[in-house]
């Protein structure tokens, strides 16, 4: 089964090739640095459960050792290697991966933590982590994916597929802190069941060239929340593409992405909401807010709505701004230095996303990362 999928994906990538800036979805992000680099397969960069014990009730196995019926039913059924070149590249080349199964009715109190660490090992390496998460009906769980690395240039190309069954409650977090020379192109594909509550938070801080694709297909009566925070400095480029497909009626989606840009960095936000013809009573809201701290930083933001139903409530908006000089003056008048005043305002801007993170250790880690980066870019 897996070998057949790999071969089909390998042929499809051969047909597609790497996307270029002539492709609409890649207009502002050039992957030429990835395409022209000769990578070798990296070791030790496959997904692994954190060193702590796996929470009781969770079943984790390698894809190669997983029940064939689960692989047949779900693997590569949602993230399309037919249309996405990087998904095809991952599907053709992943060495193995993880299946995480949350049984029907299971309530998992502790977060399920996955750590993917890459290493350049003296020459450019590539890894294709693959994760399949099957949350069965009425299950509750929290999943944290962390991507980090060390060394020089390397390329991480992960694909995560999440199947959230009817009436499930799933909180998902992805923290990306790759090294300064790393390339990171990821796809998260989510299939949300009837009356299910799914929340995902994308947190991007590292990497030289980063692309995050988050796609969700919604069923009747479900609720989906996609939040994101990205901080780019120096020459970093961070691209966030989201797609929410309201395929059934009476579903709600909420989306808030915030970006902070400094130096010569650049970022992209492209958010698509599709409301299909039969998806009446849809309620969808999408917001992208960006704080640009340098005249040389660039943000391209493009919210999109495609509404084929007539009884819906959909809104979207995007803002690009700078720090309020009056707020800076007020803080300085209270004895706070200029650099600290700026840091306080930037942190307050990010706080809206930080406070939505329910996993306390992750929230505290994120606060530390933000403070370190803000102080580092001011010095």
C-alpha neighbours within 13 Å on the C-beta side of residue 362: 28
What are 185-220's pLDDT values in tens digits? 999 999 999 999 999 999 999 999 999 999 999 999
Residue 51 has pLDDT above 60, yes or no: no
Residue 151 CA to residue 154 CA, distance in Å, equals 8
- Would you say residue 355 has pLDDT above 90? yes
Report whether pLDDT(253) > 70.
yes
Confidence of residue 2 (pLDDT cuts 50, 70, 90): confident
CB-CB contact of 96 with 3 (8 Å): no
Q: What is the mean pLDDT of residues 333-344?
A: 94
pLDDT of residue 96: 86
Q: Is 96 helix (H, G, I), strand (E, B) or coil?
A: coil
pLDDT, residue 318, reads 95
Segment 86-96 mean pLDDT:
95
pLDDT of residue 1: 78
CA 368/CA 353 separation, integer angstroms = 14
Q: Is 44 left (phi over 0), alpha (psi -120 to 50) or beta?
A: left
- Provide the pLDDT for residue 95: 86
Q: What is the pLDDT of residues 119-162, one digit of tens each?
A: 887 889 999 999 999 999 999 999 999 999 998 899 999 999 99
Q: What's the confidence (pLDDT) of residue 152?
A: 87
Report the pLDDT value the prediction gives residue 46, as an integer from 0 to 100: 57
Q: Which residue has the tokens 């059924």?
A: 77
pLDDT at 164 over 50: yes
Cα separation, 324 vs 320, whole angstroms: 12
3-state secondary structure of 2: helix
- Give me the percent of the chain exceeding a pLDDT of 90: 90
Contacts of residue 336, Cβ cutoff 8 Å, sequence gap at least 6: 344
d(CA 30, CA 32): 5
Over residues 222-243, the mean pLDDT reads: 98
Q: How far apart are CA 209 and CA 181, in angstroms?
A: 8
Residue 206 is predicted with a pLDDT of: 96
- pLDDT value for 52: 60
Higher-confidence position of 99 and 47: 99
* Res 48 pLDDT > 80: no
pLDDT tier at 379, thresholds 50, 70, 90: very low
Q: Which of 6-15, 178-187, 343-352, 370-379 has the lowest mean pLDDT?
A: 370-379
65-76 pLDDT, tens per residue? 999 999 999 999
């Amino acid at each position: 089964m897996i070998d057949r999928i790999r071969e089909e994906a390998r042929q499809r990538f051969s047909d597609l090739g790497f996307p270029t800036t002539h492709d609409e979805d890649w207009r502002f992000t050039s992957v030429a640095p990835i395409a022209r680099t000769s990578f070798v397969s990296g070791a030790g960069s496959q997904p692994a459960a954190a060193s702590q014990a796996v929470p009781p009730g969770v079943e984790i196995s390698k894809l190669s050792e997983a029940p064939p019926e689960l692989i047949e039913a779900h693997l590569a059924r949602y993230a399309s290697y037919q249309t996405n070149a990087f998904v095809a590249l991952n599907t053709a080349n992943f060495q193995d991966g993880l299946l995480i199964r949350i049984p029907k009715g299971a309530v998992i109190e502790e977060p399920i933590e996955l750590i993917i660490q890459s290493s350049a090992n003296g020459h450019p390496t590539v890894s294709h982590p693959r994760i399949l998460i099957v949350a069965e009906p009425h299950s509750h769980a929290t999943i944290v994916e962390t991507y980090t690395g060390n060394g020089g240039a390397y390329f991480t190309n992960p694909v995560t597929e999440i199947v959230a069954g009817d009436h499930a409650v799933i909180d998902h977090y992805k923290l990306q802190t790759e090294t300064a020379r790393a390339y990171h192109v990821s796809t998260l594909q989510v299939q949300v069941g009837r009356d299910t509550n799914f929340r995902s938070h994308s947190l991007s801080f590292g990497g030289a060239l980063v692309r995050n694709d988050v796609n969700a297909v919604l069923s009747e009566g479900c609720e989906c929340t996609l939040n994101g925070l990205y901080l780019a400095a120096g020459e970093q480029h961070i691209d966030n593409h989201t797609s929410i497909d309201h395929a059934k009626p009476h579903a709600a989606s909420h989306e808030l992405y915030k970006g902070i840009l400094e130096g010569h960095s650049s970022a992209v936000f492209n958010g698509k909401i599709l409301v299909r013809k039969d998806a009446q009573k849809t309620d969808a809201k999408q917001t992208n807010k960006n704080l640009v701290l340098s005249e040389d930083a660039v943000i391209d933001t493009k919210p999109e709505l495609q509404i084929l139903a007539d009884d819906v409530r959909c809104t979207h908006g995007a803002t690009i701004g700078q720090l309020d000089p009056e707020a800076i003056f007020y803080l300085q008048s209270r004895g706070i230095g200029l650099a600290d005043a700026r840091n306080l305002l930037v942190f307050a801007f990010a706080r809206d996303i930080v406070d939505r993170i329910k996993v306390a250790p992750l929230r505290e880690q994120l606060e530390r990362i933000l403070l370190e980066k803000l102080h580092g870019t001011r010095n």
